[in-house]
């Protein structure tokens, strides 16, 4: 099984500043198709997760351009620019290359 | 607007059974793979099972194989999860999720609020 490891597990960010979350997979996420199936989700308290980014760097419908994804192979990053109050919650990375597994989550709080 | 509404959760004793349902609306149900993803209280997310558009292909995480069965009724736009031989570690909120299994995405793009399953004596 592919294990996904996120760092940090928690982060306190000042409003208007940037935040970055790292995600590392235990093996390459490059699929036989040549695509890399790494996604990011955001879960607010009491809400279901919401898809933000798919295939490393593609923003899902309606996701603000403050959110960006990057990376390749086994190392990936989610960057949140100009953090807003609504960005609080837990962020998860997920691989879809070999079945589906999630990272442990990164809790983001606003200062 | 895509809506996924789960029901059927509750308290069940270890070894017992439960059937979860998910009512889907706002999209063409028959054109999507569907999934169950669970979240233990205060914990992270775990994919549980997927089912193809016509119900012909089904996949499960190893920990539920032989105990859980995913199914769907395309005439009712409904997804189900039959759970048996339940264990304490199955305690979680179970989310119904739409899976975009296309070559471009392979991710869960819509989620329901979830239904809580508690396995305890």
Contact B12, B115 (CB under 8 A): no
Closest CA to A78 of A25, A49, A38, A27: A38
pLDDT score, position B102: 83
Contact list in A for residue B114 (CB cut-off 8 A) is 48
Strand partners, A58: A54
Contact list in B for residue A31 (CB cut-off 8 A) is 106
CA distance to A60, A71, A87, per residue, from A63 (Å): 6, 19, 12
Q: Is the dihedral of CA A104, A106, B1, B3 positive or negative?
A: positive
pLDDT at residue A111 greater than cutoff 90: no
Q: Where are the beta strands (DSSP E) in B1-121?
A: 3-7, 10-12, 18-25, 33-39, 45-51, 58-60, 68-73, 78-83, 92-100, 107-111, 115-119
Strand partners, A108: A11, A89
Residue pLDDT, tens place only, A33-90: 999 999 999 999 999 999 999 999 999 999 999 999 999 999 999 999 999 999 999 9
3-state secondary structure A62-101: CCCCCEEEEEECCEEEEEECCCCHHHCEEEEEEECCCCCE
pLDDT score, position B112: 98
Residue pLDDT, tens place only, A86-108: 999 999 999 999 999 999 999 99
Contact A11, A38 (CB under 8 A): no
Contact B80, B22 (CB under 8 A): yes
**CB distance from A37 to chain B under 8 Å?**
yes
pLDDT score, position B103: 78
pLDDT score, position A36: 96
Task: Give the nearest chain A residue to B111 (CA atoms).
Answer: A48
Contact A33 B103 (CB under 8 A): yes
**CB distance from A105 to chain B under 8 Å?**
yes
Q: What is the DSSP letter of A28?
A: -
pLDDT at residue A21 greater than cutoff 90: yes
What gap in Å lies between CA A90 and CA A10, rounded to an integer?
A: 9
pLDDT score, position B46: 98
**Maximum Cα interatomic distance, chain B, rounded to a whole number of Å:** 44
Contact list in A for residue B111 (CB cut-off 8 A) is 48-50
Contact list in B for residue A99 (CB cut-off 8 A) is 47, 59, 61
Among A31, A47, A105, whose Cβ lies nearest the Cβ of B44?
Answer: A105
The residue among B3, B43, B45 with the most chain A CBs within 10 A of its CB, best to mutate, is B45
What gap in Å lies between CA B11 and CA B7, rounded to an integer?
A: 13
Residue pLDDT, tens place only, B60-119: 999 999 999 999 999 999 999 999 999 999 999 999 999 999 878 999 999 999 999 999
Q: In what order do the strands lie in the sheet with A19-25?
A: A4-7, A19-25, A75-80, A67-72
Among B44, B47, B114, whose Cβ lies nearest the Cβ of A48?
Answer: B114
The residue among A51, A52, A98 with the most chain B CBs within 10 A of its CB, best to mutate, is A51
Q: Name A98's Cβ contacts closer than 8 Å, sequence gap at least 6.
A: A1, A2, A27
Task: Give the nearest chain A residue to B114 (CA atoms).
Answer: A48
Backbone angles phi, psi at A73, to 5 degrees: 65, -95
Residue pLDDT, tens place only, B8-52: 999 999 999 999 999 999 999 999 999 999 999 989 999 999 999
Alpha carbon of A101: minimum distance to chain B alpha carbons (Å)? 7
């Amino acid at each position: 099984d592919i294990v996904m490891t996120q760092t940090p597990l928690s982060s306190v960010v000042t409003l208007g500043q940037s935040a970055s979350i790292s995600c590392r997979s235990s093996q390459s996420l490059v699929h036989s198709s040549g695509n890399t199936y790494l996604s990011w989700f955001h879960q607010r308290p009491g809400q279901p997760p919401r898809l933000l980014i798919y295939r490393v760097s593609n923003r899902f419908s309606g996701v603000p351009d403050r959110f960006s994804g990057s990376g390749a192979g086994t190392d990936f990053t989610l960057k949140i620019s100009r953090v807003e109050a609504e960005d609080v919650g837990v962020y998860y990375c997920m691989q879809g290359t070999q079945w589906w597994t999630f990272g442990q989550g990164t809790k983001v709080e606003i200062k | 607007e895509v809506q996924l509404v789960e029901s059927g959760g509750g308290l069940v004793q270890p070894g017992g059974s439960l059937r979860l349902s998910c009512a889907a609306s706002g999209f063409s149900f028959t054109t999507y793979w569907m999934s169950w993803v669970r979240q233990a209280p205060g914990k992270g997310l775990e994919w549980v099972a997927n089912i193809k558009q016509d119900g012909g292909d089904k996949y499960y995480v190893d920990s539920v194989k032989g105990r859980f069965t995913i199914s769907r009724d395309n005439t009712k736009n409904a997804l189900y999860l039959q759970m048996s031989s339940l264990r304490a570690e199955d305690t979680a909120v179970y989310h119904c999720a739409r899976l975009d299994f296309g070559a471009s995405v392979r991710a869960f793009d819509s989620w329901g609020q979830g239904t809580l399953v508690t396995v305890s004596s």
